[in-house]
Chains A and B, each alone.
Chain A
């Protein structure tokens, strides 16, 4: 159990912020913790932080492995203070929630098994993730929006592709 806990600790990475979020230090001051983004999210992706996250209590997070962001931008429409900047659904390429990184030592495709899960489900299709030699998935950071769908669909446990939040 302790080993499991330590493993979790070692693999810890900050959860994602919803699309349109302004830089983290400004975000913490601007977000008034009103929960409208959580209530607006049709996929139940957004979860509010609890007191165990200290001063980030009540701010919205997306745990990609639990439920990723599908970039519908409904949360940006209801934010009353502009902590989430208004974005249209067509502007999904502007979103920068984080960037995905592939762990090549565990990724199935790099270990002789054909797997296209992340490549096929990426919303910036054939741009953010491409297949090298039609086998090996490669992330192109300049196109990656960090929605977390790839991390969510990765068949490995823990996921071989992880989205690292650009919000620290």
Chain B
């Protein structure tokens, strides 16, 4: 492990929070600057314009193609650039930028404070089919009804749009209720379910993943928490995944919290990796005994 990597993993949580809060500051700052005549930065998380370069939510690019069957070249370019980022680094937009995810993470923390006695079962990695079924339903509804459904369910866009509305006109639209309803559901019923299963923006980014896309790599050799009942990497994962096992993708959004917590506990078994995941047989070899031991409950 290089020194840079060690430094990065050590401060990963802080860096991520800085990035997230900078994004929150930006959605208020952009309309403020626009109102005062500065137009080099424009837009919301639906689509942002830096100088003359447009960046666009790829989910919206596909929505436009599906609904109108044609798209201007500039929009195609605008939507492809974020996809290239997703192809290299995975769904980092969700974990490092998206303001809704930041909100949902704090809501999940609050939930743990308010209901501390609630038992959390050991994290598990759901089958990827569920993810694609939900996304497929969204796309089908969009096609059948011919309405821009992704625009209405893209929470980063919706939140930044309402923030811009607040700054520009001093009003907030009733559509923000959609976010509030989901937040309440997450608080009382299922923490972080929107980001994990439902968000069409994340699903579009997750489509663009190949074997060399950045992933969380687990090396069983360095895992020192075997005897601990609550595994730090499992407890900290905002999406309730288990990074020690295969199949965290397409759910995992590469926030790196599991890596951070692993390194905090002097482990070295988790890291980001661009290398292709080893074949299943190789992973299970000599590791299954250790990893598949049932640990029933974890106090979160």
Contact = CB atoms under 8 A, between A and B. Distances in A.
Interface of A: 26, 28-36, 38-40, 47-48, 50-52, 55, 57-58, 78, 80-82
Interface stretch (B68-76, B246-254, B255-263): B68-76
Interface of B: 30-31, 34-35, 39, 42-44, 46-49, 54, 56-57, 60, 63-64, 67-68, 71-72, 74-75, 78, 146-148, 151-152, 157, 161, 164-165, 168-169, 171, 173-175, 177
A39 B38 CA distance: 10
A79 to B, nearest CB: 9
Contacts of B71: 81-82
A29 B148 contact: yes
Given A33-B46, A39-B31, A58-B175, 17 more contacts: A29-B68, A29-B146, A30-B68, A32-B46, A32-B57, A33-B151, A34-B43, A34-B46, A34-B157, A38-B168, A39-B43, A40-B34, A55-B147, A78-B42, A80-B49, A80-B78, A81-B71
B146 A36 contact: no
Sorted nearest first, the 6 A-B pairs with minimum C-beta distance are A51-B174, A50-B173, A34-B47, A29-B67, A39-B34, A34-B46
B57 A57 contact: no
B34 A33 contact: no
Contacts, number: 98
26 contacts: A29-B64, A29-B146, A30-B64, A30-B68, A32-B46, A32-B47, A32-B60, A32-B63, A32-B151, A33-B46, A33-B148, A35-B43, A35-B46, A35-B164, A39-B34, A39-B164, A40-B42, A51-B174, A52-B174, A57-B173, A58-B161, A58-B175, A80-B78, A81-B56, A81-B64, A82-B71
Nearest to B45: A34
A40 B38 CA distance: 9
Contacts of B57: 32
Contacts of B43: 34-36, 39
A60 to B, nearest CB: 12
B86 to A, nearest CB: 18
User: Which of A33, A34, A51, A81 has the most chain B CB within a 10 Å cutoff?
Assistant: A34
A58 B164 CA distance: 11
Contacts of B39: 39-40
Nearest to A47: B169
A51 B68 contact: no
Contacts of B174: 50-52
B127 to A, nearest CB: 32
Contacts of B35: 39
A55 B67 CA distance: 14
B161 A80 contact: no
A5 to B, nearest CB: 19
A80 B173 contact: no
